[in-house]
Chain A
Amino acid sequence: MTFIQKYIAGSFMIIVSLIFLIASLMLEQDVTNPGEGSFLPAFISIIMILAGVKALFEGRKDSPPSSTNLGQINENELQEENSEEDDEILVVEAWDKKDYILALSYFVLVVLYVISLPYLSFFISSFIFLVISMYFLKGVSLWKNVLISLITVGAIYVIFKVLFQIVFP
């Protein structure tokens, strides 16, 4: 467990809460008057900052493999007990570099898809996006990939158009 992983959650919490606290203080209102629009947001931001500080301490006490409270400590113990048959979805594991890169690059792909939408129309860009996605994520043969992509785009179009009367980009 690296330094960043230990403190990132708490720091994120404090930074976000601070932004909202400052934003509430900058509203030209009397922040001490509970009847005005800035009191409650400021109050909530302060509670959130406290929560962030608590999370920082929790992070410091953390021992690998990542556990932040009682519930999760138990969960990790349990996983050791029956690690062989345990269900993968519930396993709380820290993300490693490979996972971050995969998620980030897939996100970039989605962003490219969204950018292409107005230029290529829903059909073409969605089809291309699906084919590239399945190729990128591996495990699907090429002909199956193209077939599924075609059917999906067609099905989404028909269902959404007929059932939901949606305008497509």
Chain B
Amino acid sequence: MDIIQWLLLPITDVKLLLIIALGTFAGVILGAIPGLSVTMAVALLLSLTFSWDLYPALALMIGVYFGGVFGGSRPAILMNIPGGPSNVATSFDGFPLSQRGEARLALSLTTIFSGIGGIIGIIVLATAAPIVANFAIKFSPRDFFLVAMLGLLLVGSLSKGSLAKGVFTAGLGVLIGLVGMDPLDGSQRFTFGQLSLMNGVNFIVALLGLFGLSEVLYQLKGLHIRGTLAKLNKAITVPVISYVLKLLPLSIRTSIMGVLVGALPGVGADIAALLAYDHAKSTVKKPNRPFGKGAYEGVVAPESANNAGLMGAFIPMLTLGIPGDAVTAIFIGALFIQGLNPGPLLMVNNPDIFWVIVGISLVATILMVVFGLMIVKIFMRIVVTPKAILLPIIAVISVVGTYAINNSIVDIYWMLFFAVIGLFLKINNFSVGPMVLGIILGPIVEINFRRAYISADSNPIEFITGFFTSPISLVLTIFFLITLFFQTPLYGQLKAKLKKS
């Protein structure tokens, strides 16, 4: 009975419902503006909702997250500029559709199927997470170490740029995560004599620098480049319902794929969307038009998968405390701030949090579809917001948001420092995502590694054999080694392969 009560809380609590609506609406709008990333928006919100209660804070962040990933499909379709990495695949067929004057149909189809993808994702989350959590309670520190390493490995290799650079940024993130007090013996590490580093690098400050201000500086290049906006001239002449029914099986397949891919630690909705597009291309024998020229299947598959992938990424986050991508890393940060310890015990000690999150996700997904279908005209205006206006505003919000965390000017200077680092990395084709994951995963990797070692009586041989003797560890170790072995810059290859044809 409790479960139903928690599930319905976002509807019965009017304040919560309003916050979700606000967040989703804001997310749809923000996501539709090219240059405003979802990660940036959620990071900003984390700094602003610092003093809030857990549920409203989560409601706002989840709303913006879902709305934002969906909103990113709007510029992908209308201007051939994806609003975020999860919408890259949508532009392959979305923009050709717009050029044929079918923008309105493309927008409606993606809205409906984003909703369907999201709901399938939620169903899988609600059924799979309790099972995974039950299983995860048996995890030893060694197993957590393996899962966290797997996450780092995947994110380092899947992100754009070279493998070496991915490994470096992930490693740098881990080291930054270790700055401050040693959790086991209390000594200071990597503070370089700075008093302000005694408690470690503030995660949110780093985020706002890496995703907020550095993005502003990075986008100054190409400031006045503007995409050509497609026209909305043609009204929908085809019966949408029949298309929806026809495309439903594909959507269900790609949604399930999306959840599974998203659930891998370190793999997020962006990879899920690309894989789904690939899947659609290889399985749909008779699309209405060839792929790349405006196939409806080509927009439905990635948009179903990316929203389902979001829910998939929630599974390792809520059951293991291991983030699936940069945004879920931020959510883990939010749970930490609220004094919670994300991990297998979260489901046991605070089942309410899990079910309320499921409820919030459901409401946010439904609202996303409603907003997406209602507002079409507004998108035509916001996708062309000039960057000369947008970027200074983001800069101000990054600064104010940083100050808001501790009311400290020193934090702002640290934010500026991270902005410079982020800018340098971006200019040189590093991706910043692995670094954020590293900052969150660093302490998890370290403490579990050391605990595992100490619990093996500090005996290296016993420690290493442990990876192969316990059944859970053995499975994870094999999985880890396979991943290490078949390490390829998958993201780039996949994207290139899809675009080429």
Contacts and interface: CB of A to CB of B under 8 A. Distances in A.
B388 interface: yes
Contact of B165 (A9, A93, A114, A167): A9
Interface of B: 34-35, 48-49, 51-52, 79-82, 88, 91, 160-165, 167-168, 171-172, 174-175, 178, 182, 184-185, 187, 189-190, 192, 213, 216-218, 220-225, 227, 386-389, 391-393, 395-397, 399-400, 403-404, 407, 409, 412-413, 416, 419-420, 423-424, 427-430, 445-446, 449-450, 453-454, 458, 460, 463, 489, 491-493, 495-497, 499-500
A44 B500 CA distance: 37
A169 to B, nearest CB: 5
A111 B449 contact: no
Given A37-B185, A130-B396, A23 B190 contact: yes
B492 A129 contact: no
7 contacts: A8-B428, A34-B453, A88-B222, A106-B216, A110-B395, A117-B412, A168-B400
B310 to A, nearest CB: 22
Contacts of A52: 164, 168
Nearest to A66: B429
Contact of A138 (B185, B388, B391, B429): B388
B44 to A, nearest CB: 10
A133 B392 contact: yes
B220 A137 contact: yes
B61 to A, nearest CB: 13
User: What 4 pairs between A and B have smallest CB-CB spacing?
Assistant: A71-B492, A74-B496, A133-B392, A69-B162
Contacts of A134: 388-389, 392
B190 A41 contact: yes
Interface residues of A, number: 81
Interface string A1-34: 0000000110011001100100110010100011
A48 B48 contact: no
B492 A58 contact: no
Interface string A77-90: 11001000111111
B161 A69 contact: yes
Contact of A137 (B49, B185, B391, B397): B391
B388 A34 contact: no
A47 interface: yes
A158 interface: no
Given A103-B218, A110-B213, A156 B82 contact: no
A64 interface: no
A68 B163 CA distance: 10
Given A85-B80, A133-B392, A102 B164 contact: no
Q: Is the interface of A mostly helix, strand, loop or mixed?
A: helix
Contact of B388 (A17, A40, A139): A139
A150 B22 CA distance: 23
Nearest to A169: B403
Given A16-B172, A51-B165, A35 B453 contact: yes
A160 B446 CA distance: 37
Contact of A71 (B192, B399, B496): B496
A148 B491 CA distance: 39
Contacts of B388: 134, 137-140
A20 B179 CA distance: 10
A143 interface: no
B493 A165 contact: no
A108 B399 CA distance: 14
A122 B165 CA distance: 39
Given A23-B192, A166-B48, 15 more contacts: A13-B164, A44-B174, A52-B168, A54-B163, A68-B162, A71-B493, A72-B492, A87-B227, A88-B222, A88-B227, A90-B88, A106-B220, A107-B217, A139-B388, A164-B51
Interface string A96-124: 00010011001100110110011000100
Contacts of A111: 416
A127 to B, nearest CB: 10
B53 to A, nearest CB: 12
A65 B217 CA distance: 22
Nearest to B35: A89
Contacts of B412: 114, 117
B168 A114 contact: no
A93 to B, nearest CB: 8
Given A89-B82, A106-B217, A130-B396, A71 B51 contact: no
Nearest to A105: B220
Interface string A139-169: 1100000001000110010001001111111
A56 B168 CA distance: 13
B429 A72 contact: yes
B396 to A, nearest CB: 5
Contacts of A66: 429
Contact of A87 (B48, B91, B407, B496): B91
Contact of B429 (A68, A81, A87, A169): A68
Contacts of A166: 48, 400, 404
